[in-house]
Amino acid sequence: MEPLWVVGNEYFGSSFAKRGLGGTTVPARLTREPQNRADKNAVGVHIGRAQVGYLSAARAEKIVRWIDSVGGSFDTTVTYRDGGADVFVPADWVATPRAEKVNVQQTKKYQSELVALGVGDQKCKVIADGEQLNVVVGEVVVGRLYPKQLDQSTLDKIVHNRQQKLVIED
């Protein structure tokens, strides 16, 4: 899960204060607002019935298709801290592959394996496993790719079950 900063909470800040949420994590819901006059991609952040803010327009634009794909709302958590708040969404909702590179997901889960490899170039294989693609160095899974987040031209460049270059960056 990736944290996204909640914006506009200065207008809704009293909702956090009234509920005594400083430093706590509570259930929340992200809800699409396609009728919003200011932003057709607006995504509101709600705790119970109270709206506590929005995702930024840039972030909302990136994840709106994902929220639409799960029915227009997504259950998550919100953590209020230092005058602001974070909500969590799946990492593949916000990851953007760089040109000629593919971002491997779930690398935190495989952190010890990546640390053991060190920074630099490695040889890896991409092996299909159901709806995901495992990135494997030697016999060790070091991350995953999700075909739904990649465009077809990128998918076509990935050679399955063959040694490929993997660059581990700081």
- Render each residue's pLDDT in the chain as its tens digit; 170 residues: 556 667 665 555 555 666 666 667 888 999 999 999 999 999 999 888 888 888 888 888 888 888 998 899 999 988 876 666 788 887 767 765 555 555 566 666 777 777 777 656 667 777 777 667 778 877 778 777 766 666 666 666 665 545 556 655 54
Last residue of a domain, one of 91, 114, 139: 91
Contact by Cβ (8 Å): 7, 43: no
Tell me, yes or no, whether 87 and 100 share the same domain: no
Tell me, yes or no, whether 63 and 105 share the same domain: no
Contact by Cβ (8 Å): 135, 141: yes
Tell me, yes or no, whether 155 and 99 share the same domain: yes
Q: What is the pLDDT of residue 75?
A: 92
Q: Which two tokens stand for residue 155?
A: 């998918």
Tell me, yes or no, whether 116 and 74 share the same domain: no
Q: Which two tokens stand for residue 85?
A: 């708040």
Tell me, yes or no, whether 107 and 155 share the same domain: yes
Tell me, yes or no, whether 72 and 129 share the same domain: no
Domain hosting residue 60, numbered range: 2-91
The tally of domains found in the chain comes to: 2
pLDDT in tens, 122-154: 677 777 776 677 788 777 787 777 666 666 666
71 CB-near residues (< 8 Å, 6+ apart): none
Last residue of a domain, one of 91, 116, 134: 91
Q: What is the DSSP letter of 160?
A: B
